Amino acid sequence: MSTPPIFDERFTGELAELFAWRRDVRHFHTRAVETAMMDDLLASACRAPSVGLSQPWRLARVRQEERREAVRAIYRRCNADAQSLQPAERAGLYARLKLSGLEEAPEQIAVFIDPDPATGGGLGRATMPETLAYSAVLAIHTLWLGASARGLGLGWVSILDPVAMAGALDVPAHWRFVAYLCIGYPREPSDVPELERAGWERRAPLADVLLER
């Protein structure tokens, strides 16, 4: 145990900048991410908070080209289905959006959970088992922020069939798919979401989502 740090205004200001520039990135350079940097980021993600200290996250680092192509095939199929669900007036804009960096991102990480981990002794999740997946999301966000602070970009791909993903990556049968992450150096850093720049959606003010009780 050591003395708690005091974070000064310079740090909190830079943290606010990090939050502002931490974008979902879909345009990557193909150059490799340094090995030590990836190792640090993955280790840091696994120190994220988790329900009952259950640490339920399971990671698959996807490097083999045939595995990556299997993921892209799942994405192409799911994205075609998703596009067909869009109303006519949005379909054209949807088709023009680039929604993943699967083709070029040098690092690709599939995130799963063990839905019944031995660690944690079940604490905190009896009424809300979904907190296991939420814990994996906290690890993903830790990785995302750490990557952004090092000039990397991360894109979260969710237009995927979770069951097909587990099969394509040949992970233990009881694991449950949470997310697929593309990581690399971003082509166009921005502090405005790509979907906002493309005219898909705008950001809402706090007052729209806050109740007093």
Does residue 95 bind its own copies (CB under 8 A)? no
28, 131, 182, 183: which one binds its own copies (CB under 8 A): 131
Does 212 contact its own copies by CB under 8 A? yes
Residues 135-164 interacting with its own copies (rule: CB under 8 A) = 137-138, 141-142, 144-146, 149-151, 156, 158-162
Distance CA 174, CA 71 (A): 19
Which residue, 31 or 66, is less far from its own copies as judged by CB?
A: 66
Specify the residue for token string 């350079």.
Answer: 29
Shortest approach of its own copies to residue 52 CB, angstroms? 7
Residue whose CB is less far from its own copies, 62 or 105: 62
With 0-12 CB in 10 A as exposed, 13-18 as middle and 19+ as buried, what is 45?
buried
Question: Does 116 help bind its own copies (rule: CB under 8 A)?
Answer: no
Residue 115 contacts its own copies per CB under 8 A: no
Non-local (6+) Cβ contacts of 142 within 8 A are 44, 45, 47, 48
Q: Judged by CB under 8 A, does residue 19 bind its own copies?
A: yes
C-alpha of 96 from chain center: 22
**Closest Cα partner for 109 from 79, 50, 52, 152?**
152
For residues 34 and 191, which CB has a smaller minimum distance to its own copies in the complex?
191
- 93/103 with CB nearer its own copies: 93
C-alpha of 183 from chain center: 9
Nearest CA to 108 out of 51, 28, 20, 48 is that of: 28
Which one of residues 33, 133, 166, 183 is an interface residue with its own copies (CB under 8 A)?
A: 133
Taking Cα atoms as reference points, which of 57, 59, 12 lies closest to residue 38?
A: 59
CB of 104 to its own copies, least distance (A): 19
Residues 54-73 that bind its own copies (CB under 8 A): 54-55, 57-64, 67
Site for its own copies in 168-207 (CB under 8 A): 169-171, 178-179, 189-193, 195-196, 200-206
Q: Which of 24, 72, 104, 115 binds its own copies (CB under 8 A)?
A: 24
d(CA 15, CA 107): 25
- In angstroms, give the least distance from the CB of 27 to its own copies: 14
* Contact (CB, 8 A) for 145 and 48: no
